[in-house]
Amino acid sequence: GIARGYQYYSMDAFTKSPIRTIDDAYVDGLSITHGNPRKHLWTLVVGLNEVTFHSLARCPLDLDTYDISLIPDFVKNNYYCETGYETRDEARIAWEDPLWDGQQCVSSTAQSC
């Protein structure tokens, strides 16, 4: 199957909250889970844009400079992050750049674009 998303306005990638379990809103994006209780399979993350350096809002392209405490322990390395905006967020749907397809990236890693 395919998960296709389109960004609208400001997204914050992995959000910082005091309670971060699989049942909380821990990400701007799509969480893929299974079972009861839920078990994490994969997370598709949406970052603010490709050039911001605000760690709460960006995709974790460089884990040396990214606050990895924002990534919940249960997610581990099982995520992929992308954004629909290159330089700034806008109050419109980014139809021209579908999320999670690995295309139109300024820079990329195995887990982020």
pLDDT at 89 over 80: no
Q: From CA 91, how far away is CA 63, in angstroms rounded? A: 29
Q: Are 53 and 19 in contact (CB under 8 A)?
A: no
pLDDT at 97 over 80: yes
Convert the pLDDT of each residue in 24-64 to its tens digit.
Answer: 889 999 999 999 999 999 999 998 888 776 667 888 876 66
Cα-only R_g, the chain: 13
CB atoms within 10 A of CB 73: 9
**Which residue reads 């992995």 in tokens?**
14
The mean pLDDT value for 55-77 works out to 80
**Which residue reads 């905006």 in tokens?**
85
Q: List the one residue out of 96, 20, 88, 22 whose CA is nearest residue 54.
A: 88
Q: Which amino acid is at 106?
A: V
